[in-house]
Amino acid sequence: MSRTAIFSITDLRKSFGPNQVLGGVSLNLHAGEVTVLMGANGAGKSTLVRVVSGVYAKDGGTMSLEGHDYMPATPAAAMRAGVVTVHQHQ
């Protein structure tokens, strides 16, 4: 059974100067599933979340939400689209 992803990221790229932080991230999220984003320090997890939540602009790749292009210019725009980030505090 094939399901359509509710949120898709394809070949997402983000660099800061000469440092490529996200080098072609692809991810599909489906309704009703729990997805964990984990990795070593410096792996790009926070940068990915910040791109998805409109804090940073992507340098390349695509994102879609419910079948429509998704490119939030600000965190407020992401929230209006229904994308909310809950940050971990230590």
Calpha distance 35→30 (Å, rounded): 9
Partnered with residue 69 across adjacent β-strands are: 64
pLDDT digit string (tens) for 20-35? 999 999 999 999 898 8
Domains in the chain, number: 1
pLDDT digits (tens, 9 = 90+) for 4-61: 899 999 999 999 999 999 999 999 999 989 888 889 998 999 999 999 999 999 999 9
Whichever domain contains 35, its CATH number is 3.40.50.300
CB 6 within 8 A of CB 21: no
The answer to whether the CB of 53 falls within 8 A of the CB of 76 is no
Expressed as residue numbers, the domain containing 49 is 7-81
Q: Is residue 31 a part of any domain in this protein? A: yes
